[in-house]
């Protein structure tokens, strides 16, 4: 086994930043800072390999004992104090530090090395017994919690008794106030040394009672107990689940850092704080952070005292309790600024720093890449690339593509106070607020008066489209991710929360009753809102809030545009958009879409003036009546395509022929059926019968897609005619058109060859007039059988488009509309590593995709391969599609920029090891 313990201190370090695998992020940072000559308290790092050996064998590897002892001796020499020496004791901190930062693992034990003897000696030496016993009681509590498994809460009662005693001395009547008030009236900083000393004894007694063993007094025993706690925490449940979710292998292990203590709580010339080398929310280059005088590290995070700003600034609040470090300790602040600059240009990235000032002297305790907002990430990456700090490729890789979504929709102001009323599905991203209305007509009317409205419906139907257009956002009580409301709202780029089952809408009284749940899922109260009340919805998280919560508008700064140009330069997969209307197509093109990968034709039939003809077609008893009804749809369908082809001139447009089952087009309530019966001259009974006939138990697996066209070929014939006539019309006007006709839900070659016959016949008829347009013919791969039989299908299809939504549903046997009830819990519990509708299930669905790619290409080497499921906008899935060798991805217009960046990163990363990009955290 190689070296297991790495010393750092006195300007030299045995490790450095290149040994992150072995030293973890924290250890590598400490070693690197030491090597750079920065003021770092000496210490040593026990390697991740030692952790792995310990996990596997249940004991420490040979030689570790010795190596730790030697390193400890060097620390003692450097500090000039001795571990366990009552006269001049060395105290240390023990912290875990894996390659990537990970919640759920043991974090920190401070002040290790204290026992009654060393505390007594230290109190004498510092003449500050209050400081020493405060540190001691904190150490006992922390150590008991993380290394002995005794919960902190158990110490609370002893603390409260101490506070009460002090309160009495101040004349406070403790019988009339509760614990929280007592804590405020007697802050821990006012507990005198004697009380703190008493607490140490009380805490130890509690530990002995709980564990059956005395608290360890021997510093070496304390140290090994802490090391074992760090290593053991690698395999605890929460950490395991987190790793599984984030694809971090168990074999990485964690390192353990042991470092000489410095104290920020030695008095008013001591302090502790955290700093960012840039503003993590805007990316602006300035020292940003918080500090507390006379405090230890944990106090900044604990939130008992309010931290103060590091630097002077126009937005700082007034008053001594808001004073900046720059003003209070200018020299230490100047040192910190210098160090921050040095570290940022050394690491070529924005750094997140921890520091402590002891008696006016600055010490660095940690440095790592800082988390940042998407906006800041873009600005930092672009500025650093322009400054020559990093390459443009590196800049492209620095930005989390998924986070870009934040920049493309309005978002809730994270600082604004808000009250959550209900949760539902995050059906269409973005935030919006407005007055509640319960009908589409009302929405249109009020919006016409200039009022912002939110349309709330039990569920929406094609009759509600005008109201959805008029509203700022849509909320439904029922329906899933592919419900009418969700699909239409996404198409419109309008925020939507769907299927929020806690909401009970009453159209009669024009009110909605919301059952509000607490964090544990228990109902607490019912809130009733009426028409005109204001709510805010966040379609990115599926939340509905009370009143108007301020939002932050989307802003594409100049840096964003620059970054996208660099990104596109190295991209190999095309990015198309899913768009059903000329407007969507225009938006998509403005976001850089290079074609339409999925133009759904069914939504075209939901428009009010068309659905009547569609219904007539469905209710027809024979081919000729169906053809008559379809003929009425032809002109408007052709117009749709003309508009889309114009917008996408020069780019390919993949049009999927009718996909959903016919019952989706029929009215569902009695009134609508009556109305339809009247205008169509068909008895309501017949209408109801037909609706019943068409009902399906599992519509997802029903009579839809190409199956409709096998039964009623005339439907696709009309659609193909509309496509090709539109293409000819636009081509005649001098624009380039590239129609791609796509057949949904095929599972056999025979289905495709039948459709090909129809397409060729119509093409011959349309082109007979003289103008010909080149087009291609292909299919979706959206069922497992299609993937397995891809070689057969490729005999007919010139392109495949993977419909990964349906493919996921079928492969996992998971209905996306229904899974909302249990899938989130499944993912949270780690039963599934992630939501397979968000990130492609690579082990399952991904294997079918790879199989279809291989078989399709074997049969037809030049086959064009793309994907048009919502995974087309998910960065992790995009990386998979790059590796699988697809030609393009297609996603919703508002995700095009995300997909472009993700595809650009995927192109640069493919071939690199899987974890190459892990750990450069962005918020």
Cα dihedral 97, 98, 99, 103 sign = negative
With contacts defined by CB under 8 A, name the span among 89-97, 105-113, 827-835, 888-896 that binds its own copies. Answer: 827-835
Per-residue x/- track, 736-765, its own copies (CB under 8 A) = ---------x-xx-xx--x-----------
With CB under 8 A as the contact rule, the residue among 441, 821, 910, 914 that binds its own copies is 821
CB contact at 8 A, 45 and 5: yes
Q: Is 108 in the site for its own copies (CB under 8 A)?
A: no
Only one residue has tokens 């995700």, namely: 895
User: How far is it, in rounded angstroms, from Cα 608 to Cα 626?
Assistant: 19
With CB under 8 A as the contact rule, the residue among 134, 584, 841, 874 that binds its own copies is 841
Set 409, 484, 663, 871: catalytic member: 484
With contacts defined by CB under 8 A, name the span among 57-65, 525-533, 729-737, 778-786 that binds its own copies. Answer: 778-786
As measured in angstroms, the least distance from the Cβ of 818 to its own copies is 4
3 or 624: whose CB is closer to its own copies? 624
As measured in angstroms, the least distance from the Cβ of 846 to its own copies is 9
CB contact at 8 A, 588 and 653: no
As measured in angstroms, the least distance from the Cβ of 824 to its own copies is 11
37 torsion bin: left (phi>0), alpha (psi -120 to 50), beta (else): left
With CB under 8 A as the contact rule, the residue among 809, 877, 882, 890 that binds its own copies is 809
The dihedrals phi and psi of 840, each to the nearest 5 degrees, come to -55, 135
Q: Is 693 in the site for its own copies (CB under 8 A)?
A: yes
Count of C-beta atoms within a 10 Å radius of residue 778: 25
CB contact at 8 A, 100 and 919: yes
With CB under 8 A as the contact rule, the residue among 782, 796, 870, 874 that binds its own copies is 782
CB contact at 8 A, 132 and 267: no
User: How far is it, in rounded angstroms, from Cα 558 to Cα 634?
Assistant: 44
As measured in angstroms, the least distance from the Cβ of 748 to its own copies is 6
With CB under 8 A as the contact rule, the residue among 553, 768, 774, 825 that binds its own copies is 825
Q: Which helix (H) or strand (E) holds 82?
A: strand 82-83
With CB under 8 A as the contact rule, the residue among 701, 838, 854, 909 that binds its own copies is 701
Q: Is 659 in the site for its own copies (CB under 8 A)?
A: no
| Active-site annotation holds for 237 | no
594 or 817: whose CB is closer to its own copies? 817
Helix, strand or coil, per DSSP, at residue 545 = strand
With CB under 8 A as the contact rule, the residue among 847, 858, 910, 916 that binds its own copies is 847
User: How far is it, in rounded angstroms, from Cα 123 to Cα 115?
Assistant: 12
CB contact at 8 A, 805 and 835: no
Task: Read off the DSSP letter of residue 870.
Answer: G
Helix, strand or coil, per DSSP, at residue 765 = helix
Q: Is 842 in the site for its own copies (CB under 8 A)?
A: no
Q: Is 178 in the site for its own copies (CB under 8 A)?
A: no
With contacts defined by CB under 8 A, name the span among 251-259, 286-294, 773-781, 785-793 that binds its own copies. Answer: 785-793
267 or 699: whose CB is closer to its own copies? 699
- 389-397 LR contacts (CB < 8 Å, sep 24+): 389/345, 389/348, 390/348, 390/349, 392/566, 392/569, 393/566, 393/570, 393/908, 394/348, 395/563, 395/566, 396/563, 396/566, 396/567, 396/570, 396/901, 396/904, 396/905, 396/908, 397/905, 397/908, 397/909, 397/917
Helix, strand or coil, per DSSP, at residue 782 = coil
With contacts defined by CB under 8 A, name the span among 159-167, 395-403, 845-853, 869-877 that binds its own copies. Answer: 845-853
774 or 825: whose CB is closer to its own copies? 825
Number of residues forming the site for its own copies (CB under 8 A): 53
With contacts defined by CB under 8 A, name the span among 166-174, 531-539, 702-710, 895-903 that binds its own copies. Answer: 702-710
As measured in angstroms, the least distance from the Cβ of 244 to its own copies is 9
Helix, strand or coil, per DSSP, at residue 417 = coil
| Active-site annotation holds for 868 | yes
The dihedrals phi and psi of 864, each to the nearest 5 degrees, come to -90, 130
With CB under 8 A as the contact rule, the residue among 284, 818, 828, 914 that binds its own copies is 818
Residues in the chain: 923
Per-residue x/- track, 470-509, its own copies (CB under 8 A) = ----------x--------------------x--------
Set 256, 367, 599, 868: catalytic member: 868
With contacts defined by CB under 8 A, name the span among 54-62, 75-83, 157-165, 699-707 that binds its own copies. Answer: 699-707
As measured in angstroms, the least distance from the Cβ of 216 to its own copies is 34
Count of C-beta atoms within a 10 Å radius of residue 510: 15
What is the spatial order of strands in the sheet that 453-457 belongs to?
Answer: 420-423, 543-546, 534-538, 431-437, 453-457, 473-476, 496-498, 425-428
CB contact at 8 A, 352 and 274: yes
Q: Is 885 in the site for its own copies (CB under 8 A)?
A: no
With contacts defined by CB under 8 A, name the span among 21-29, 109-117, 825-833, 867-875 that binds its own copies. Answer: 825-833
Helix, strand or coil, per DSSP, at residue 346 = helix
With CB under 8 A as the contact rule, the residue among 342, 703, 772, 917 that binds its own copies is 703
Q: Is 420 in the site for its own copies (CB under 8 A)?
A: no
The pairing of beta strand 92-98 with beta strand 271-276: unpaired
Retrieve residue 60's tokens: 């420490």
Q: Is 519 in the site for its own copies (CB under 8 A)?
A: no
With CB under 8 A as the contact rule, the residue among 806, 852, 884, 893 that binds its own copies is 806
With contacts defined by CB under 8 A, name the span among 416-424, 468-476, 670-678, 836-844 that binds its own copies. Answer: 836-844
87 or 685: whose CB is closer to its own copies? 685
Helix, strand or coil, per DSSP, at residue 796 = coil
Contacting its own copies within 329-358 (CB under 8 A): none
Query: Which residues are annotated as catalytic?
Result: 484, 868
**Would you tell me which residues interact with its own copies (CB under 8 A)?**
480, 501, 692-693, 696-703, 707, 710-711, 745, 747-748, 750-751, 754, 782-785, 788-789, 792, 806, 809-815, 817-819, 821-822, 825-826, 829-832, 841, 843-845, 847-848
């Amino acid at each position: 086994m190689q070296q297991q313990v790495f010393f750092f201190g006195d300007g030299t370090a045995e490790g450095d930043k290149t040994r992150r695998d072995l030293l973890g992020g924290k250890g590598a940072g400490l070693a690197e800072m030491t090597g750079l000559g920065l003021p770092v308290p000496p210490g040593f790092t026990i390697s991740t390999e030692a952790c792995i050996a310990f996990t596997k064998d249940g004991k420490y590897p040979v030689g570790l004992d010795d190596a730790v002892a030697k390193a400890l001796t060097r620390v003692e020499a450097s500090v000039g104090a001795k571990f366990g020496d009552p006269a001049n004791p060395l105290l240390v901190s023990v912290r875990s530090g894996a390659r990537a930062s990970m919640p759920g693992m043991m974090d920190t034990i401070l002040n290790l090395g204290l026992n009654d003897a060393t505390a007594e000696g230290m109190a004498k030496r510092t003449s500050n017994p209050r400081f020493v016993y405060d540190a001691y009681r904190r150490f006992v509590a922390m150590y008991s919690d993380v290394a002995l498994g005794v919960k902190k809460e158990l110490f609370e009662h002893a603390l409260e008794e101490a506070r009460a005693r002090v309160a009495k001395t101040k004349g406070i009547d403790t019988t009339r106030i509760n614990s929280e008030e007592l804590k405020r009236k007697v802050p821990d900083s006012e507990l005198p040394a004697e009380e703190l000393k008493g607490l140490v004894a009380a805490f130890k007694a509690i530990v002995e009672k709980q564990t059956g063993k005395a608290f360890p007094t021997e510093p070496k025993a304390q140290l090994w107990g802490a090391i074992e706690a760090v290593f053991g925490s690698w395999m605890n449940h929460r950490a395991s689940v987190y790793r599984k979710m984030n694809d971090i292998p168990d074999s990485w292990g964690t390192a353990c850092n042991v470092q000489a203590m410095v104290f920020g709580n030695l008095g008013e010339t001591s302090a502790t704080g955290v700093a960012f080398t840039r503003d993590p929310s805007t990316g602006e280059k300035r020292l940003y952070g918080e500090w507390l005088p006379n405090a230890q590290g944990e106090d900044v995070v604990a939130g008992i005292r309010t931290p103060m700003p590091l630097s002077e600034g126009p937005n700082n609040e007034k008053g001594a309790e808001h004073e900046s470090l720059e003003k209070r300790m200018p020299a230490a602040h100047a040192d910190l600024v210098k160090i921050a600059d040095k570290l940022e240009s050394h690491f070529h990235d924005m750094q997140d720093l921890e520091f402590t000032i002891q008696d006016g002297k600055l010490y660095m305790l940690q440095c790592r890449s800082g988390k940042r907002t998407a906006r800041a990430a873009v600005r930092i990456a672009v500025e650093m690339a322009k400054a020559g700090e990093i390459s443009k490729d590196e800049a492209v890789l620095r930005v989390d593509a998924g986070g870009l979504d934040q920049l493309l929709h309005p978002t809730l102001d994270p600082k604004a106070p808000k009250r959550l009323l209900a949760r539902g599905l995050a059906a269409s991203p973005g935030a919006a607020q407005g007055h509640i209305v319960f009908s589409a007509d009302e929405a249109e009317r009020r919006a016409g008066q200039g009022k912002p409205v939110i349309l709330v419906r039990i569920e929406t139907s094609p009759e509600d489209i005008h109201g959805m257009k008029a509203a700022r956002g849509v909320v439904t009580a029922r329906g899933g991710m592919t419900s009418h409301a969700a699909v239409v709202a996404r198409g419109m780029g309008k925020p939507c929360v769907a299927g929020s089952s806690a909401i009970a809408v009453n159209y009669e009284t024009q009110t909605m009753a919301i059952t509000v749940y607490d964090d544990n899922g228990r109902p607490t109260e019912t809130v009733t809102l009426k028409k005109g009340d204001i709510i805010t919805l966040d379609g990115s998280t599926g939340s509905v809030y009370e009143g108007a919560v301020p939002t932050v508008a989307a802003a594409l700064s100049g840096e964003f545009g620059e970054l996208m140009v660099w990104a596109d330069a190295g991209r190999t997969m095309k990015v198309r958009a899913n768009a059903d209307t000329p407007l969507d197509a225009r938006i998509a093109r403005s976001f850089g879409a290079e074609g339409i990968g999925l133009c759904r034709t069914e939504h075209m039939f939901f428009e009010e003036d068309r659905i009547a003809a569609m219904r007539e077609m469905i209710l027809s008893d024979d081919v000729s009546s169906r053809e008559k009804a379809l003929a009425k749809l032809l002109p408007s369908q052709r117009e749709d395509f003309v508009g889309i082809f114009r917008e996408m001139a020069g780019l390919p447009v993949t049009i999927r022929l009718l996909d959903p089952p016919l019952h989706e087009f029929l009215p569902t309530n009695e009134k609508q059926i009556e109305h339809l019966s009247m205008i169509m001259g068909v008895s309501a009974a017949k209408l109801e019968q037909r609706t019943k006939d068409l009902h399906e138990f599992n519509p997802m697996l029903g009579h839809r897609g190409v199956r409709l066209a096998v039964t009623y070929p005339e439907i696709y014939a009309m659609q193909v005619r509309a496509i090709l006539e539109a293409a000819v019309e636009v081509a005649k006007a001098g624009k380039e058109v590239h129609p791609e006709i796509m057949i949904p839900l095929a599972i056999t070659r025979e289905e495709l060859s039948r459709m090909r016959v129809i397409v060729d016949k119509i093409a011959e008829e349309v082109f007979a007039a003289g103008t010909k347009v080149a087009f291609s013919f292909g299919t979706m791969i959206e069922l497992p059988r299609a993937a397995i039989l891809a070689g057969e299908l490729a005999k007919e299809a010139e392109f495949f488009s993977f419909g990964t939504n349906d493919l996921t549903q079928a492969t996992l046997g998971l209905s996306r509309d229904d899974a909302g009830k249990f899938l989130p819990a499944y993912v949270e519990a780690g039963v599934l590593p992630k939501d397979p509708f968000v990130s492609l299930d690579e082990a399952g669905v991904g294997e079918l995709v790879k199989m279809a790619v291989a078989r399709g290409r074997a049969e037809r080497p030049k086959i064009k391969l793309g994907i048009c499921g919502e995974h087309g906008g998910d960065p992790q899935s995009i990386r998979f599609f790059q590796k699988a060798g697809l030609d393009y991805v297609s996603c919703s217009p508002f995700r095009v920029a995300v997909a472009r960046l993700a595809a650009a990163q995927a192109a640069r990363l493919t071939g690199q090891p899987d974890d190459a990009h892990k750990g450069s955290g962005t918020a």
